[in-house]
Amino acid sequence: MDASEKLAHAYFKYRKFNSVIFEPQGKSKPPDFLLEGRIAVEVRRLNRHEVATSPTQKRRGLEEVVIPAWDHVKQLLPSLGAPTAGVTWFVEIRHSGPRIPRPQLQRAVRKCLEAFRDSEPQNITTIRLFENFTLRLVPAGWPHSDCFVMGGRRSSYWVVPELERNLKICIDEKTLKTSAIREKYPEWWLVLIDRINFGDKEALQVSDHNWDKIILIDPDDHTRAFVV
């Protein structure tokens, strides 16, 4: 089992299903689980996907784009020296993809932060370096050893619209994958491990689908689940 399947399995055990069979049709074949001999379950991460710019472009999870950028900026910051005027600044990034080459990104970030460090006055600032990449500088509550340290990871999307967009991607993908064997089991569930934001989903709108139940599970607590 992969990490998502393990979380789903723990959720089924928490819900006290008596029969939980993993891959009843064989390795890597749908469904991922069979509950009580009648409920077929497919499992997937619910994560952000970049918006395709052409019909042939393969969608990637945004963590494939945002996390490398976050890491590239973090690696650069210690080289920018100690705090000036006793103030350390949190660096937050907002990046929506596609990926920016590391040398190009680090050159632009270095030039931007050096100019900010050496200027007066220094205030909370948002700087757009590329069409799809923005820095936000916020003073830390106390000085660190470096002038700049990484703050939170930021995406370019509001949570509910992003959930809805990526729910549709996951639903369509799993619907296509299971279409040939839908008649084999009387009930089908889609379980998604919510890597976008597990919180208030009362405003969530889901397009028409043919799943009997769609369940979102908190990746940090398999006992917390939301039925769409």
CATH code: domain of residue 176? 3.40.960
Number of domains in the chain: 2
Domain of 91, in residue numbers: 63-154
Boundary (domain end) residue, out of 122, 137, 154: 154
Question: Residue 159 — very low, low, confident or very high, per pLDDT cuts 50/70/90?
Answer: very low
- Say yes or no: 135 and 149 in one domain: yes
Question: Residue 48 — very low, low, confident or very high, per pLDDT cuts 50/70/90?
Answer: low
Task: Kindly report the pTM of this predicted structure.
Answer: 0.56
Please name the helix (run of DSSP H) or strand (run of DSSP E) that holds residue 156, with its range, or none: none
Q: Which residue has better confidence, 151 or 169?
A: 169
**What burial class does residue 163 get, using C-beta atoms within 10 Å of its C-beta: 0-12 exposed, 13-18 middle, 19+ buried?**
buried
Mean pLDDT of 26-47: 94
- Say yes or no: 94 and 149 in one domain: yes
Q: Which residue has better confidence, 36 or 87?
A: 36
- Say yes or no: 85 and 133 in one domain: yes
What pLDDT shows up at residue 52? 46
- Say yes or no: 114 and 166 in one domain: no
User: Can you tell me the distance from the alpha carbon of 34 to that of 22, in angstroms, rounded to the nearest whole number?
Assistant: 7
Q: For residue 58, is it within any domain?
A: no
Q: Which residue has better confidence, 133 or 12?
A: 12
User: Can you tell me the distance from the alpha carbon of 14 to that of 227, in angstroms, rounded to the nearest whole number?
Assistant: 15
- Say yes or no: 28 and 76 in one domain: no
Q: For residue 144, is it within any domain?
A: yes
User: Can you tell me the distance from the alpha carbon of 113 to that of 86, in angstroms, rounded to the nearest whole number?
Assistant: 16
Weakest-pLDDT range from 18-22, 55-59, 194-198 = 55-59
CA dihedral (62, 65, 93, 85) positive or negative: positive
Q: For residue 54, is it within any domain?
A: no
- Say yes or no: 145 and 176 in one domain: no
Mean pLDDT of 140-158: 71
- Say yes or no: 38 and 91 in one domain: no
Boundary (domain end) residue, out of 123, 154, 185: 154
Question: Residue 77 — very low, low, confident or very high, per pLDDT cuts 50/70/90?
Answer: very high
- Say yes or no: 67 and 149 in one domain: yes
Boundary (domain end) residue, out of 154, 174, 206: 154
Q: For residue 56, is it within any domain?
A: no
- Say yes or no: 108 and 137 in one domain: yes
- Say yes or no: 32 and 83 in one domain: no
